[in-house]
Structure 1
Amino acid sequence: MSALSNPPAPGAPRGRVKTAFASAAGTCVENYDFVAYGTASALYFGDAFFPDSDPVVGTLLAFVTLGVGFLMRPIGGALGGYLGDRHGRKPVLVGALLTMGIATVLIGMLPTYAQVGIAAPVLLVVIRCIQGLAFGAEWGGAVMMTYEHAPRRRRGLYAAIPQAGNPLGIAFANIAFLLSANLDGDWAWRLPFLASALLIVVGLVVRMKLSESPEFEAAKAEGGTVRNPLLTVIRDDWRNILRIIALRVVESCAYYLTATYLLSYITDRDPDDRGIALTGVVIASLLAVGTTVLSGALTDRVGRRPVYLVGCLLAVAFGIPMYVMANTGAALPIVLVFLIAIGVIHAALTGTQAAWFAELFRTGTRTSGASLGYQTAASVAGFAPFAAVLLTGSFGWWGPAGLYVGVSAIGLLGVLTTRETWGREQRAAAALRETGGTLDGIPAQGGSRRDVSPHSS
């Protein structure tokens, strides 16, 4: 079964930019919807859906329902990857966004435990599962659509643009909760979910206007699509899937240990600090938009591995200081914690992932392989806040701090065992291809597969 090497992405620069920002718009909406649940779990759902429990158990149960959505993400990633590699990236983008939007609005309309009893948390879990499926399916299509439209030498930059939609959606979600915090009763958490309907309409309109990926169209025309991309990539590229899981665990777990668990931890210590912590998340998320794009651009110049390595090393070093700073209870250290953890460390990792993960697979199995690894790691990360609560009960703040350092060490292992896909040789070959030169006697026009997008089985 053949797979195409990566042909130069056709199309005008304007179309490439439009694709990147349209993908980012949808990713922003998806993250708003998915992350709004995490914020609500940390601040409200323990009381609204599990009121008969003591405060610690209520928080644990809220975080369990948060984790259920993450368990569904590998299934969504596998389904979305399969459909994206078989039928195209665009249909998956539109369908996933619509499904996520409907589920999110329904959360805002759910009755509470006080109104319908046990049916309330049951309905919450069902809708959270639907969210997980949609979110899992969306990422691969958005990133691969942008990556495959992008000019070869700037694929790190372009692929980072949809990734920048992640912190932007996070910022919007937390802004919504800040604005609704003073509303009476359940409206404090209902309104942010209902408000997502406006973002969904915008995202759908933008995505419906996109053209299909040129690489997918070329693969389809030349018979380079794979009959069963999911099984093929598991059979032929399972090592790369495991590498992506290791690389992704540090980014995803570290984020939820910060934006979800640490937010709850700070609020439990002093409820008056809730506004400060939320403000810190918002500012950090806005900073992360720029850091994500800059990180992607940097990988085009120095390669993917060096940027990711620095991000993992920073994460290892910051695990303990972040709790020392949070425990001061002072506004400036609390805000700085989020700025460093989300605005710098997390953003550097997300800005690098899209291009690096895409380049580990061939066109015919790219969405399936990258999505499966990416979302499997996310399913683990969904239970990180739950694990942090348990560890805090046994070890105090040293428990979640140690967990943060531990997942960062897993990321380091992933960096050390994953090959560079955009090293000096690949960058030189791409530059020569644009000028029609040669590399080691090989014409740049129509160079070998290793010059374009190396692939290891």
Structure 2
Amino acid sequence: MSTEALEMRGPVEGTKDAKRVAIGSSVGAVIETYDFIGFGTAAALYFGTAFFPSGDPVIGTLAAFATLGVGFAARPLGGILGGHLGDKVGRKPVLVASLIVMGLATFAIGLLPTYGQVGLVAPALLVTVRIIQGLAFGAEWGGAILMSYEHAPWKSKGRYTGIVQAGFPVGLLLANLVFLFSVHLGGDWAWRVPFLASIVLVVVGLIIRSKVPESPVFEDVKDSGEIAASPILDSVKKDWRDILRGIGLRVAETAGYAVSITYMISYLHENDLAGKSETLLALCVASAIGIFATIGWASLTDRIGRRPVYLGVCAFAALFGVPMFLLVNTGMFVLILATVVIAYAVCQNALAGAQGAWFPELFQAARRASGASLAYQISAMVSGFTPFITALLYFAFGWIGPALLFSFYGLVGLVCALVTRETWGRTERRLADQAGRSNSHPSDSPDGPLSGGTAAASSTKEKELL
């Protein structure tokens, strides 16, 4: 067993700030998801006519989804920048900066002129702001998840990072609740109000996030002089296999979401299967359930490992593609609601819940932010343009095209999970139990208790146990 099995995961029992850090990181995830996902909802329902009017509504929808994809394409660049700075100057500065940039860009969308007001300048401005959104969102995840992971107790890292990941369904819920309200305002206010309202969340988030302490693992890396001169390049050279595996794992979740949720909104609307209010209501219900589902799935990985959850859910997703569209094609709201809930609370939330702890554990601490961010964000280039690709498949082959694409993404995740190592298997859980017992009885160990110690002290104890 390698001595790196549990190395540099932080104090055995976590820090005294672990819960506050998880909540603070989650609040940021809520706000940034509200901003970013809100754009997807607006693209599906409003932006085709507001920014890309044409005689053919299909063209407008495709153009709006292409703009949605531009933001996702920018996320890897944000991930590179955020990962580099996270490994060089700390996780916390990245958290604060990404939130400010994201908030200002989102607020600006609510102020943009439409095509009818300024012509081609309108879509150009929308694309520009969308790129800025993508950069900020790309930098956000690595810092937020690592802060929570490195403060959390060894045996509960899945649950604590699950709290951060649960911020995404919370943000989705808030965004759709606001759109559900604003749809009754009519005209441009139906999409402007949700973006303008985001500034309130940003202010609240900055107040909470500014009080979050820096990661103890980063502090130990800095104190030991192990900060890499170029963590991104080091990660690409040494971790490229795990980065590729992570990309595949992430594609199953985020590209699957792009088909089953982002594209599905447009599909239901354009085929008169559900009205805007019904569609948004289904998303709100799924989001509310998803908050608890994400934490539940993440906690399950603490008990049985990260890999089993991923294998089971990806296998289910691969089989669910065709039934998913057959169910919504009935036009019965109860079946549409059930389908959206299953697609989100199972196929998306379970994978997101497992990623929170699994991705950081694939990389060494000195380049953890870089490696995890690259794996997480590069996949966005695939998922970001998936609604556009899905729309093309539908126009070419009907609903079976999107259905098979969803199943294909499930298969991608299944294969990648099979070739990715387990980082919280029986051996790691046994070692964590031993470390916890030693920490409860400091007289049994010459190093004393670990609960109040640093990550370096934890690492020393880990090596003794190993």
1:315-394 alignment to 2 at 5 Å? 315-394=317-396
1:198-209, aligned counterparts within 5 Å?
198-209=200-211
Structure 1 segment 154-233 matched on structure 2, within 5 A: 154-233=156-235
State the secondary structure of the residue aligned to 2:159.
helix
Matched with 2:44 is 42
Q: 8 Å contact 2:107–2:198 — kept in the other structure?
A: yes
Q: 1:443 to 1:329 in 2, by over 3 A?
A: farther
Indicate which of 107, 112, 119 corresponds to 2:121: 119
Any idea what SS the aligned residue of 1:436 has? helix
Q: CA deviation at 1:184?
A: 2.5
Task: Give the Cα–Cα distance (whole angstroms) in 2 for the partners of residues 192 and 314 of structure 1.
Answer: 34
Aligned positions of 1:51-450 closer than 5 A: 51-270=53-272, 273-436=275-438, 446-447=460-461
Contact 1:20 1:159 in 2 (8 A): yes
* 2:281 partner letter: T
Please give the alpha-carbon distance, in whole angstroms, between the structure 2 residues aligned to 1:113 and 1:299. Answer: 48
| C-alpha spacing 1:431/1:182, structure 2 compared with 1 (3 Å) | same
Against the structure 1 CA distance between its residues 405 and 367, is the aligned structure 2 distance closer, same or farther, given a 3 Å change threshold?
A: same
- Could you report, residue by residue, the CA deviation over 1:256-283 in whole angstroms, capped at 9, with x for unpaired residues? 1122101100000117522212111111
Q: 1:46 deviation in Å?
A: 0.3
CA–CA separation in structure 2 for the residues paired with 1:120 and 1:450: 62
Query: Residues 84-105 of structure 1: CA distance to partner in whole angstroms, max 9, x if unpaired?
Result: 0000000000000000000000
Secondary structure (helix, strand or coil) at the match of 1:223 reads: coil
C-alpha displacement at 1:7, in angstroms?
5.3
Q: 1:144 is matched by which residue type in structure 2?
A: L
- 8 Å contact 1:245–1:373 — kept in the other structure? yes
Matched letter for residue 405 of structure 2: L
How far does residue 14 in structure 1 lie from its aligned partner after superposition?
4.8
Partner Cα distance (2:207, 2:157) in 1: 25
Q: Is the 8 A contact 1:10 1:214 kept in 2?
A: no
Contact 1:359/1:421, CA 8 A, preserved across alignment = yes
What is the one-letter code of the residue matched to 2:26?
A
For residues 223-261 of structure 1, the C-alpha deviation after alignment (integer angstroms, 9 at most, x for no partner) is 121111000000000000000000000100111112210
2:435–2:462 contact (8 Å) kept in structure 1: no
Letter of the structure 1 residue corresponding to residue 134 of structure 2 = G
Q: Residues 12 and 351 of structure 1: is their aligned pair in 2 closer, same or farther, counting only changes over 3 Å?
A: closer
Percent of matched pairs sharing the same residue? 50
Alpha-carbon distance in structure 1 between the residues aligned to 2:10 and 2:54: 60
Give structure 2 stretches of 5+ with no counterpart.
448-457
Residues 96 and 451 from structure 1, CA distance in 2 versus in 1: closer, same or farther, beyond 3 angstroms? farther
Q: C-alpha offsets along residues 50-108 of structure 1, whole Å, 9 cap, x if unaligned? A: 11241001000000000000000000001000000000000000000000000000000
Residues 12 and 425 of structure 1, relative CA distance in 2, 3 Å threshold: closer
State the superposition RMSD in angstroms.
2.0
**Alignment length (residue pairs):** 447
Greater Cα offset, 96-105 or 9-18: 9-18
Alignment check: 8 A CA contact 2:144 2:164 kept: yes
Name the amino acid aligned to 1:16. A
Q: What is the distance in 2 between the residues matched to 1:428 and 1:12? A: 17
Farther-moved stretch of structure 1 (115-124 vs 428-437):
428-437
Letter in 2 for 1:396: G
> CA distance change for structure 1 residues 358 and 449 in 2, over 3 Å: closer, same or farther?
farther
The residue type equivalent to 1:316 in the other structure is: A
Contact 1:159–1:296 (Cα < 8 Å) also in 2: yes
Q: Which amino acid aligns with 1:341?
A: A
Amino acid aligned to 1:177: F
SS at match of 1:285: helix
Counterpart-to-counterpart distance in 1, 2:419 and 2:446: 31
The match for 1:25 among 24, 27, 31 is 27
Please state how far the C-alpha of 1:370 moved relative to its aligned partner. Answer: 0.5
Q: Match of 1:455?
A: none
AA in 1 matched with 2:235: V
User: Is the CA contact 2:103–2:198 (under 8 Å) kept in the aligned structure 1?
Assistant: yes
1:234 alignment partner AA: V
TM-aligned CA deviation for residue 443 of structure 1: 10
Q: TM-score, normalised by structure 1?
A: 0.95
Could you tell me how far apart the structure 1 residues matched to 2:226 and 2:12 are? 18
Shift, 1:436, TM fit: 2.1
